[in-house]
Amino acid sequence: MSNDAVSAVINVDIEGPQISKHVYGHFAEHLGRCIYGGFYVGEDSDIPNVRGIRLDVVEALRALDIPNLRWPGGCFADEYHWMDGIGPKEDRAVMINTHWGGVEEDNSFGTHEFMDLCELLETEPYIAGNVGSGTVREMSEWIEYLTREGDSPMVRLRKANGREAPWKVKFWGLGNEPWGCGGNMNAEQYALEARKFATYCRDYGDNKLYRIAAGAADADYQWTQKLMEQLGHLGCQRVERKLYQAVSLHYYTIGGTWDKKGDAKEFSTDEYYTTMLKALHTDELLTGHSNVMDLYDPTKEIGIVMDEWGTWWDVEPGTNPGFLYQQNTMRDALVASLHFDIFHKHADRLVMANIAQTVNVLQAMILTDPDSGALVLTPTYHVFQMNKGHQDAASLRVDAPAGLPTREVDGKELPTVSVSASRKDGRLLVSLSNLDAEAGQDVEVDLRGGGLGEFEALILTADSLQAHNTPEALEAVAPRAHEGVKLEGSKLRVHLPAHSFVTVSGALA
Ligand code: AHR
């Protein structure tokens, strides 16, 4: 079954705002098996590792060109005291991870291990500092420890712990979810705290911090407004700089309710459509928060960092409820592809987005088997891979003069076709998703203002929306070459099977 063909137009010679590579960012928290067992197995593990870091995970993520990694939380960030995680491992303090399963955290993965991981991944660190239970001094000293050259107490401590040269750290978070797990503050309280903490987040040498104030959840526009009101300027400097350069936003796609989120693998078609409608809500949220910010910052100097997004399902049966371990199906892949189309559309304000979370937690790229250690790449991983050419590319507007097909879901209109496009280094990348669960869709894309030469088409789909990968079926959902794309003059005719994601890339002639 196929729906009637639809048309879209892309003016390939009219470049829109650049899509920040950082919207393909990641998030790794001390939560369940994300850090321990996921990234870090310790030096004595049988799993091949370098200084305790799993090599297979590093290799898989390097193939995605991941631009940044946010750490150590999440909620964990606001009870993390960085000095507990430096120095000889046997001397490191043990703490209780009260948010996530009440497990003991031995701090064997700390600052040096995280920076080592970032170097192995060739990715930029994004550190979330502790505002909830930490002090201004503690945060300030962490930055000195990480980034200062020369001679000072924290520099001496770093060198004593084996690291001579400072690291480069740009992205710095001023707490996490302060309206909840990060201190239960109201917007006024946090806005004042953010000003204070930001003041002492110093730039050392040529290390320039990009300070990210902890923003709203969902449609809490009042929170964003309060933060924008308190933006202020860094005092005592000739160069006027804002206290923070971005505000964050968290939004999770939850098919059901917070109490009953739904099963990750067993769901009805109706539940699937509800999920896609919830994912689409991200577009409305980015528009809404950006509109509030426009009132204070019409030139869009201050960015939005959507540093937590993705699906959140009930945990897999038999696993620790505090570990947030869930499977990942073709449905999750389409949630991701739809998010990227939305992110590309908001390239003028959205500077970063971090999927939650990279390994073994929530909408992960990678699942590792706790017994055999086997590594599974999820359908979501493949969307990141197929879309990586959009990183730092110029966005291209996609128009559908006659409209796109829609279906009514829960009293609202859900467009069932989603398209985005970009160009970089003379190459075009078009991403197309067919959200229809059962019907195929033909799309005729008119490429105006430039021809396309040789191209490659890839497809990610499966027999069912519930399809997922396991150690026994590693490629149940994996990209394949797609024969259903034809180029006729300036027209790209793309066949999208039901519930599929397709990319077409090639050199512009
Ligand atoms: O990603 C899991 C949790 O979700 C994070 O720790 C928190 O910030 C959010 O509520």
Give pLDDT, residue 401.
86
CA gap 300, 369 in Å, rounded = 44
Residues 450 and 349 in one domain: no
Q: pTM score > 0.95 for this model?
A: yes
pLDDT at 50 over 80: yes
- Give, using CA atoms, the residue closest to atom 5 of ligand 1: 74
Distance 324 CA to ligand 1 centre (A): 10
Residues 385 and 404 in one domain: no
Residues 412 and 383 in one domain: no
Domain count, the chain: 2
Q: Last residue of a domain, which of 392, 421, 438?
A: 392
User: Could you give the 3-state DSSP secondary structure of residue 322?
Assistant: helix
Give pLDDT, residue 5.
85
- For residues 268-296, give the mean pLDDT: 97
Q: Tell me which residue range forms the domain holding 271.
A: 21-392
Q: Last residue of a domain, which of 359, 392, 425?
A: 392
Residue 1 lies in a domain: no
pLDDT at 503 over 80: yes
Residues 369 and 427 in one domain: no
> Per residue in 420-452, is it b (16+ CB within 10 Å) or e — as a string?
bbbbbeebbbbbbbbbbbebbbbbebebeebeb
**Structure tokens that stand for 310 in this block:** 């993705």
pLDDT at 235 over 60: no
Q: In CATH, what number is assigned to the domain containing residue 184?
A: 3.20.20.80
Instruction: Indicate the pLDDT class of residue 242, thresholds 50, 70 and 90.
Output: confident
Residues 355 and 486 in one domain: no
Q: DSSP letter string over 413-467?
A: EEESEEEEEEEETTEEEEEEEE--SS-EEEEEEEEESS-EEEEEEEEE--SSTT-
Give pLDDT, residue 238.
54
Residues 402 and 380 in one domain: no
- For residues 358-363, give the mean pLDDT: 98
Residue 128 lies in a domain: yes
In ligand 1, the atom with minimum distance to the C-alpha of 176 is 8
Q: In CATH, what number is assigned to the domain containing residue 433?
A: 2.60.40.1180
Q: Last residue of a domain, which of 392, 419, 439?
A: 392
Instruction: Indicate the pLDDT class of residue 402, thresholds 50, 70 and 90.
Output: confident
Name the residue among 46, 8, 2 with its Cα closest to residue 374: 46
CA gap 467, 160 in Å, rounded = 51
**Structure tokens that stand for 244 in this block:** 């923070």
pLDDT averaged over every residue in the chain: 96
Give pLDDT, residue 208.
95
Instruction: Indicate the pLDDT class of residue 241, thresholds 50, 70 and 90.
Output: confident
- Give, using CA atoms, the residue closest to atom 4 of ligand 1: 74
pLDDT at 240 over 80: no
Ramachandran angles phi, psi of 136, nearest 5°: -60, -40
Catalytic residue list: 177, 308
Residue 60 lies in a domain: yes
Q: What is the pLDDT of residues 5-23, one digit of tens each?
A: 889 999 999 999 999 999 9
Q: Give CA separation, 390 vs 270, 341, 430, 507, in Å.
A: 31, 10, 9, 14
Per the listing, tokens 């700390």 go with 110
Q: Which residues pair with 398 in a beta bridge?
A: 10
Distance 391 CA to ligand 1 centre (A): 25
Q: What is the pLDDT of residues 141-167, one digit of tens each?
A: 999 999 999 999 999 999 999 999 999
Residues 482 and 428 in one domain: yes
Pocket test for ligand 1, best of 31, 69, 75, 250 (most atoms within 8 A of CB): 75
In ligand 1, the atom with minimum distance to the C-alpha of 177 is 8
Sign of CA dihedral 134, 139, 142, 144: negative
Q: What is the pLDDT of residues 421-447, one digit of tens each?
A: 999 999 999 999 999 999 999 999 999
Which residues have CB under 6 Å of ligand 1?
Answer: 29, 73-75, 176-177, 308, 356-357, 362
Residues 369 and 291 in one domain: yes
Give pLDDT, residue 236.
54
Residues 402 and 473 in one domain: yes
Q: What is the pLDDT of residues 90-101, one digit of tens each?
A: 999 999 999 999
Instruction: Indicate the pLDDT class of residue 239, thresholds 50, 70 and 90.
Output: low
